Amino acid sequence: MRAGEIAKVLQAERLKRAHPWAPVSADQLTAREFFSLIGMKGKGRQYRRTLRYLRLSCSRDDEAERAPAYLAKCFRHGITVLVFQGRGHGAVSVEYRIPVESLKDEYADRARRLISGRKGNPSDSVSLKHETYRQLVALSARAGKSIPDLVDEWARREWRFWLEGGDAVISMAEANGRDT
């Protein structure tokens, strides 16, 4: 068999084992969300290597034990990945999803915050660059506060600074109660 034929056979086997496609639930992270959770960019050698370990952990338990430390430290009892059939029949034939309950507590908490942001109201959202969002997630984890709490604290601090240095004659009680 040629390499292309072997790849097709392995792909068909992977599709046969995969769950039928279903929308992402609040109990699961997509691979892209998981990568942003651990602070990894969506390209490059480390990305491809991590994706390979996610794929291998679905089919072979012995291979998952060889996973790098940065990946293994996120899970409670070994790497747990669910495989779903891709939505279309294009280049992405399978989707990898990580159950939130399989993550360690610190990662599970961050994942729940990430999932709650997924279901947020569009009117409440602010468009951010991917890098800025990654930095906010990291700051949130380090400070132990949610991203909305951090932004609220920074906005209040900037508002107070502006009031103290500006020409506005507004009391602090009025400033704290004011919607901006």
Q: Kindly state the average pLDDT of the residues 120-148.
A: 77
In the prediction, which pLDDT does 20 show? Answer: 78
Between the alpha carbon of residue 180 and those of residues 125, 127, 158, 166, the distances in Å are 15, 18, 12, 16
Q: Give the helix ranges, DSSP H, for the chain.
A: 3-17, 31-37, 45-59, 61-64, 69-72, 105-118, 130-143, 147-165, 172-177
pTM: 0.59
Token pair listed for 50:
């991590």
SS3 27: coil
Query: Mean of the per-residue pLDDT values for the chain?
Result: 77
Q: Kindly state the average pLDDT of the residues 157-163.
A: 85
144 phi and psi angles, rounded to 5 deg = 75, 25
In the prediction, which pLDDT does 180 show? Answer: 45
SS3 74: coil
Nearest to 57 by CA among 37, 27, 32, 31: 31
pLDDT higher for 137 or 118? 137
pLDDT-derived band of residue 90, with 50, 70 and 90 as boundaries?
low
Side chain identity at residue 42, one-letter code: G
pLDDT higher for 86 or 104? 104
Q: Kindly state the average pLDDT of the residues 61-88.
A: 76
d(CA 78, CA 4): 31
CB 6 within 8 A of CB 76: no
- Percent of the chain past pLDDT 90, that is, above it, reads 2
**What would the pLDDT profile of 62-72 be if each residue is shown by its tens digit?**
555 677 788 88
In this predicted structure, which of 27-36, 95-104, 119-128 has the lowest mean pLDDT? 119-128
In this predicted structure, which of 36-40, 60-64, 143-147 has the lowest mean pLDDT? 60-64
Which range, 82-91, 112-121, 145-154, 164-173, is most confident?
A: 145-154
Name residue, tokens 């908490």.
109
Q: Specify the DSSP element, H or E, that contains 28.
A: strand 28-30
CB 143 within 8 A of CB 42: no
